[in-house]
Chains A and B, each alone.
Chain A
Amino acid sequence: EAGVTQFPSHSVIEKGQTVTLRCDPISGHDNLYWYRRVMGKEIKFLLHFVKESKQDESGMPNNRFLAERTGGTYSTLKVQPAELEDSGVYFCASGQGGAGEKLFFGSGTQLSVL
């Protein structure tokens, strides 16, 4: 069974440019999450989808970040325009839901904004 896949694995862009990260969850998983780890700091929650609906987007840093999950399958996270402080590793995770669900993480996208 394929795991959570993220694309690209690395992205280097200049400040002010736009970048779109993609996450393909495990097939059948309704819950999809985005997390981010900025250098040297904790992994922090960004948002949570249940199917195509945003369940919780309280962790989104600001309105330069836009997440979508059209059709409840894959998700994209767009940063426009990117700033230096957006650099970090962006993780996606998926799960089936339920008490104490086990989340499956992708290997992350390393974003570097220069």
Chain B
Amino acid sequence: ELKVEQNPLFLSMQEGKNYTIYCNYSTTSDRLYWYRQDPGKSLESLFVLLSNGAVKQEGRLMASLDTKARLSTLHITAAVHDLSATYFCAVDINNTDKLIFGTGTRLQVFP
């Protein structure tokens, strides 16, 4: 059974600092997604990573994928309060369009 693990589960960080969220998965996949969720809101798509070595950046967030290591990272640069949310990674195995989600990382950025 495919498992997707994120760490940390909770992250409290100061504004201006950098940090990385990790997403490990247990079986082969070359499709990985990152989503953001604000409380009571929908999941917002951040990145879609489709190949080994893929790197995408949007503002202070950068995501990468290493399919050989079965690892994706979401790097936060110079965090700001507006980034406070829960971040999920999700893996699509065998291109079935069925996403397996990680547990989520709850990020809180404080002044």
Residues of A at the B interface (CB closer than 8 Å) are 3-4, 31, 33, 35, 41-45, 48, 55-56, 58-59, 91, 93, 95, 97, 99-108
Contact = CB atoms under 8 A, between A and B. Distances in A.
Interface of B: 4, 31, 33, 35, 40-45, 48, 50, 88, 90, 95-104
Contact of B98 (A4, A59, A105): A59
B43 A105 contact: yes
B1 to A, nearest CB: 12
What 7 pairs across the A-B complex have the smallest Cβ distances?
A105-B43, A43-B101, A107-B42, A105-B42, A100-B50, A45-B98, A100-B48
Given A35-B99, A35-B101, 15 more contacts: A42-B100, A42-B102, A42-B103, A43-B43, A43-B90, A43-B101, A43-B104, A99-B31, A99-B50, A99-B95, A102-B45, A103-B45, A105-B42, A107-B40, A107-B41
